[in-house]
Structure formats: structure tokens, C-alpha cells
Amino acid sequence: MNPERTAPRFGLIIVGDEILSGRRTDKHLAKVIELLGARGLQLGWAEYVGDEPARITAVLRRAFASGDVVFCTGGIGATPDDHTRQCAAAALGLPLVLHPEAKALIQARMQDTARERGEPYQPERPDNLHRLNMGVFPQGAGIIPNPYNKIPGFSCTGPAGGAIYFTPGFPVMAWPMVAWALDTHYRAWFSAGTWQERSVIILGAMEGTLTPVMQRVEAAHPRIKVFSLPSVDHPQYGAHIDLGVKGAPADVGPAYADLRRWLEPFGLRYGPEITRP
């Protein structure tokens, strides 16, 4: 079974001015690719957006309409620069409400904190009441458990049938929450070991010269994709192209054999072959 043809398409939205300004380096993209890949899944797209409510709302509205399964990190706290919860509600045209399970989890966290500090727990203290805003989600939202500090994330289903999973921006919280969402809701599409890439390093070639071969391979093997990754200054190979095919292993083998056979008349110089599971 080809997972790309049967699994949902997965996307990633990373929210935060600190990423766009360079004050923080994004770590989510590489990790989400890793989490998906370990389950035989692939990331279809990713998008960055700053802390501007109108833009966040537009990005979320588009994501909800796509029908994709999307992970969104950042901006779900309760400080003035956190807008993601409100923008999710606006994108769906839903009111914001205090989720009862989120309220209980946040209160449990506040009790833990008070106990750790040797202080009495005062649920009506203004700062504790303000913390409950972290549990105010679009009406009908689901809960994403947070194993780090109990403060939950949330998920919402879109009108096209997909879903967005909203997590904090902190990797120590976000990554286990993404893994939980995958393992809880998308296990049926796990297919580790059924997706493969095979390629060869071609030294000093021009990509345009090889385009007809790429087109010929895709036409002859419609269930695979051809990829071409050129580099001009690789420390080992110098100018080269990583040219190959990807898809289900049963399809990759014949397609790669044809690729190599149809490259023979060009008299190319080759580096190593590479197989990626």
C-alpha cells in the first residue's frame, strides 16, 4: 500500500514573531518530519506566521478548509501576545468557551505549583483566575494532554473533515503532544517500512539535460515520484545532482532500474547510490 495515496496529508503551522525575527531558531519542522517519518508518514507542507491576529486567522481558515491534518505550535498561552486560541475561534466562526476538562487540568497544575512552593492554593486569586484563560478554546474543541505540566493543548475539526492540533511553542511540550495525536488518531495509516527512496549522485551534470529522463520515468511509473536535488558546493561531491525515485518499495525497484538504464547514453560520472527507508 502506498501511504502517500491513503494517508491524510499532514501540515505544520509555526506561530511566533521570535522565529521570524531570528531571536529563536525553529526546531519544530525537523522534529515533526522525524515524528511522521518514524510512523511511515510524510509532511506535506509547512508555514510560518508571526503574532499578527489577522494573518494567523487567515492561515488557520485556509488550513481548516484544506481538509488536512495540521499541527500548529505557539501562541496558545494567556499573555497579550498569544492570539492563536482566539484566531482559531474566528477562523471557525465559533465562540470561545472555558473547556471543563481543561479547567480541571489547569487547576490541578496550580495546586501542584502551590504545593511545591509550600503555599496554600487560592483558586480565586486574580492570577490563578487569569491562568484559566489557557483553557478557553473554540466551542467543541478536544483536549490534547500535556505530559510536561498538565496544561492542555486543543484540537478542532474543520469543515472539510481535517483537523488542527494546537500545542504550545515549547518543544518539550509540543513534541510529545504531536506524538500523542498521531498515535491516538492516525495509527491506521502508520506504514513504517513501506516507503522508500533510491537515488544516485551524478557529478557535474546539468539538471536541464536530464529532465527528459525524469519525465520518461514518471510517465512509465505513475505510482512513483522522481526527485532531483542539485547542489553547487557540496564539500565532498562539489557540483552534483542527487537524482532518484520515491514511493512504495515494490514500485521503486523497477522505476530506479529504468532510471539508471535510461541515463546510460549520457556518459555521466557517478558518485554513490543511496537508499532511504
> What pLDDT digit, counting tens, does each position of 42-98 carry?
999 999 999 999 999 999 999 999 999 999 999 999 999 999 999 999 999 999 999
E strand or H helix at 205, and its extent? Answer: none
Q: What is the pLDDT of residue 4?
A: 45
| Bridge-based pairing state of the strands 163-167 and 69-73 | parallel
Position 1 scores a pLDDT of 37
Beta bridge partners of 241: 202, 230
Average pLDDT, the chain: 93
**How many other CB atoms are found less than 10 A from the CB of residue 49?**
23
- Mean pLDDT calculated for residue range 17-41: 93
What pLDDT digit, counting tens, does each position of 241-259 carry? 999 999 888 999 999 999 9
pLDDT digits (tens, 9 = 90+) for 96-110: 999 999 999 999 999
Residue 193 has what pLDDT? 60
**Which domains occur in the chain, in start order?**
3-189 (3.40.980.10), 196-276 (3.30.70.2860)
Angle, vertex CA 62, rays to CA 58 and CA 64, nearest 5: 115
pTM of the model: 0.80
Assess whether pLDDT exceeds 50 at residue 2: no
Predicted local confidence at residue 77, as pLDDT: 93
